[in-house]
Amino acid sequence: MGRQPGYDTAALVRAARRVFWEHGYEQASVPELERATGVNRSSLYHAFGSKRGLYDAALTSYLDEVVRPRLRPLQTPPVQPAALADYLQHLLDALARDATGDGDASRGCLLLSAAAAPIGQDDAVRAVVVAYRAELRAAVAGGLAAARPDLDDTVRAHLAESVTALVVAALALVRVDVVAAADSLRAALEVSRPEPARQPARQSLG
């Protein structure tokens, strides 16, 4: 019983998601969320409790409506090798294209701000980011395994990690994955390496 909302909740969350996507959690102001959704702050707080509650709804909606549909081609066998190559190519390609466009994704991945900004310190948000990364890794590894069973296991593992790391690094800036990519690159460098001598030098670019 009672009065019905004068707005479409799904559309509201989508509009809010766009604001968070563009400005990040901290820089997205409540007045701006009001403007974008066309809904008064009273209704927003009544429905979501807080700015943070609305952000959580936006995160969920982002994963369900944006991320997962794009990963589905990797998870639906049979995966053709050529299709996989094209898929990965165009996936990364689209990232670059979006970055220069003026669409929703022009400011990068919504989870980027979650990981890099202060909100990323929050345990609940961090858990979402970690789960997202695992999901992405599994999708890439699974798709690659289905498409290229002919590849050597080690090579395929390196390739999967490298692709995942690149996508994750570009999207969510989880720098830990760079380790795996570094292994891949090292392997690539070793292929036609003239001498096996090494001389480690611990340094950081910051």
Partner DNA sequence: GCTTTACTGTAACGTCCATTGCAGAAAAGC
Partner DNA sequence: GCTTTTCTGCAATGGACGTTACAGTAAAGC
Closest contact distance (angstroms) between CB of 110 and a copy of itself is: 7
Helix, strand or coil, per DSSP, at residue 117 = coil
Residue in 13, 19, 36, 39 binding DNA, rule: CB under 7 A? 39
Neighbours of 22 (CB within 10 A): 18
Establish how many alpha carbons lie within 13 A of residue 28's alpha carbon, considering only the half-sphere containing its beta carbon: 27
Closest contact distance (angstroms) between CB of 11 and a copy of itself is: 18
Neighbours of 112 (CB within 10 A): 19
Helix, strand or coil, per DSSP, at residue 122 = coil
Closest CA to 125 of 46, 52, 28, 178: 52
Instruction: Establish if 130 lies at the interface with a copy of itself (CB under 8 A).
Output: no
Of the ranges 41-49, 91-99, 114-122, 148-156, which one interacts with DNA (CB under 7 A)? 41-49
Q: How far apart are CA 101 and CA 170, in angstroms?
A: 16
Residue 7 or 87: the one with the smaller Cβ distance to DNA is 7
Tokens of 6: 């004068």
User: Are the C-beta atoms of residues 43 and 5 closer than 8 Å to each other?
Assistant: yes
Closest CA to 132 of 160, 116, 111: 111
Restricting to residues 76-115, name those near a copy of itself by CB under 8 A.
80-100, 104-105, 107-110, 112-113
| Chain-centroid distance, C-alpha 99 | 14
Instruction: Establish if 29 lies at the interface with DNA (CB under 7 A).
Output: yes
Instruction: Establish if 160 lies at the interface with a copy of itself (CB under 8 A).
Output: no
Of the ranges 37-45, 56-64, 129-137, 138-146, which one interacts with DNA (CB under 7 A)? 37-45
Residue 40 or 76: the one with the smaller Cβ distance to DNA is 40
Instruction: Establish if 134 lies at the interface with a copy of itself (CB under 8 A).
Output: no
Instruction: Establish if 85 lies at the interface with DNA (CB under 7 A).
Output: no
Instruction: Establish if 41 lies at the interface with DNA (CB under 7 A).
Output: yes
Which spans of this chain sit near DNA (rule: CB under 7 A)?
A: 1-7, 28-32, 39-43, 45-47, 50-52
